[in-house]
Structure 1
Amino acid sequence: MHKQIATIGFYTFIEALRNRLIWAVILIALIGIGFSGFLNEIALTESRQIQLALMAAFFRFAAVFLLATFVVSSMLREFNDKGLELLLSLALPRAAYLLGKWSGFAALAILIALLFGTIISFLAPFSPVIWWTISLLFELWIIAAFSMLCVLTLSQMMGALSAVIGFYVLTRSISAIQLIGNDPVNIPSNSQQLISFLVNSLSAVLPHLDEFTRTDWLLYQSGSWSVLLALLLQAAMTLLLLGAASLFDFYRKNI
């Protein structure tokens, strides 16, 4: 089974290279460098900090969007071309297929995170760049796993991508939503208590991606290895939940 997972992961990664996704990543990197350099020239004060902050934010969003788009399009193309049915007609467990696909996407995420982290390293100290790059990698792994779940559940390009974007926006803003929902200034009521309970329950299940890949690590060196370890545990728990949901949904399908 390990060999099957490695084989599927390898060819998934090769597919990304043949689809010229790396060229798209390089193009995004050049756009980010050019745009942040332009803002660096017109900024009156703290030009380097502004350039670094905008470049890091742009690279983070671009990495998530590119990876999610590739995961959704790759899996849907395989479904529509009946490639999945061919694979499952062999002696291949469905769990091996899902783990193999995710491992290929995870390898692609490593490449994207390393490329963007290398560019960031020219503007920021070494240790914060390491924290930022590793955290971006954790974030991309979560997005890849959720994108796979959306493909298995929705089976449509626009629906799956919309769900991934909604998930990303929600996980990036869940802490702010929780803070608003638990505002002690407002007079408590039954509806407010219900909303607060729902928000707190949602916050307990969802990953807090607003804590990942923070720009202030690069600007003020405010991160640490202990913070990164906490993010690793959060990412591992999220991946286990998403993997279990994907396996459950995949095994119940009649293919």
Structure 2
Amino acid sequence: MRSGLPWLAVATLIAVIGLAGFLAQVAVTESQALELSVAAAVLRAAAVFLVCAHVAASTLREINDKGLELMLALPLRRSTHYLGRLAGFALCAVALSAAFCAPLFWWARPSLVACWGASLACEAVLAAAVTLFFAMTLAQLVPAMAATLGLYVLGRSIAAMQAIASGPLSDPAFAAKVEQHSVDALAAVLPRLDQVTRAEWLLYGAPPAGTYVAALTGLLLFGALVTVAGLIDFHRRSV
């Protein structure tokens, strides 16, 4: 409660419900589909942003208040401390994702909302892991938030960047080819956030099971890599 996350979550839900009601009044056709797609997009972005802000603010407040030094004085391994902190933030991310799924049951089938919500939970947990890494590494709020949100936006837009770089209007020059291969290499290491938590799942049905599992597995693998990087950095640095 100290962080204000529950109140921000409630305010977000109220705002989304109000926005949906407004769209229902102004939409001429397909009002339900419009309400659902806009609500899903807003809830997804809000969930990621609130998780990032909560993790960064909580971690940096503890660092600045010397609470981290006190915690490290306890007979606990650093890996236990880091993983325990990450587990707590992950639970907050899952709880927030579950709360944000509640309004969607009004418009979509429960099975589709559950599929979308599980993907949102994985995405929010990944955001928590990345934010914790940057917050512990950079030790400043604005750089940590900027790095996390920049990585998130890049993961959401990398497919569009690939399409532009390899499109029929792309320059055949050597420099353009280098740029295209650079974008492809970047896409190979980034989480494919454009393939998860899509509003179209709520409108037209869930993707094939293989595609769905592969997309979520990619998120979890990237989250595991970030966690390992955070553990290595936390072990070698002096707090």
Could you state the TM-score of these two structures normalised by the residue count of structure 2? 0.96
Asked whether the 8 Å contact 2:155–2:191 carries over to 1, the reply is yes
* d(CA) in 2 for partners of 1:129, 1:224: 15
Residue 35 (structure 1) aligned with residue 15 (structure 2): no
CA RMSD of aligned residues (A): 1.3
1:64-79 equivalences under 5 Å are 64-79=48-63
Determine if the alignment matches structure 1 residue 155 to structure 2 residue 139: yes
- Gaps of at least 5 residues in structure 2 are none
Question: CA contact under 8 A between 1:131 and 1:223: conserved in structure 2?
Answer: no
Offset at 1:213?
Answer: 0.5
Q: Separation in 2 of the partners of 1:165 and 1:239?
A: 15
User: Match of 1:108, as an amino acid?
Assistant: C
What is the rounded CA distance, in whole Å, between the counterparts of 1:22 and 1:203 in structure 2?
35
Q: Which residue of 2 aligns with 1:202?
A: 186
Q: Of 143, 166, 186, which residue of structure 1 is paired with 2:150?
A: 166
Q: Structure 2 CA distance, aligned partners of 1:186 and 1:164? A: 30
Q: What one-letter code is carried by the residue in structure 2 that aligns with 1:85? A: E
Q: Does 1:96 align with 2:84?
A: no
Is this contact kept in 2: 1:40–1:48, CA < 8 A? yes
**Contact 2:48–2:124 at 8 Å: present in 1 too?**
yes
The structural deviation recorded for 1:93 is: 1.1
1:251 aligns with 2:235: yes
Partner of 1:114: 98
* Residues 220-229 or 18-27, more deviating: 220-229
User: Is there any run of 5+ residues in structure 1 with no aligned partner, and where?
Assistant: 1-16
Aligned-pair CA distance for 1:173: 0.3
1:143 counterpart (127, 145, 152): 127
Secondary structure of 2:149's match? Answer: helix
CA contact (8 A) 1:142 1:235 kept: yes
SS across alignment from 2:76: coil
Identity rate, percent: 38
1:92–1:152 CA distance, 2 compared to 1 (3 A): same
TM-superposed CA distance for 1:221, in Å, is 1.0
Q: Name the CA distance, whole Å, in 2 between partners of 1:188 and 1:87.
A: 57
Return the letter of the residue paired with 1:200. Answer: D
After the TM superposition, list the runs of 4 or more consecutive aligned residues in structure 1 that deviate by more than 6 angstroms: none
Per-residue deviation, 1:184: 4.1
1:211 maps to amino acid: Q
Residue pair 1:178, 1:196 contacting (<8 A) in 2 also: yes
1:110 positional shift: 1.3
The Cα shift of 1:20 comes to: 3.2
Asked if the contact 2:36–2:107 (Cα under 8 Å) also holds between the matched residues in 1, the reply is yes
- Contact 1:94-1:251 at 8 Å conserved across structures: yes
Determine which of 207, 212, 218 is the counterpart of 2:202: 218
TM, length-normalised to structure 1: 0.90
Count of aligned residue pairs for this structure pair: 239
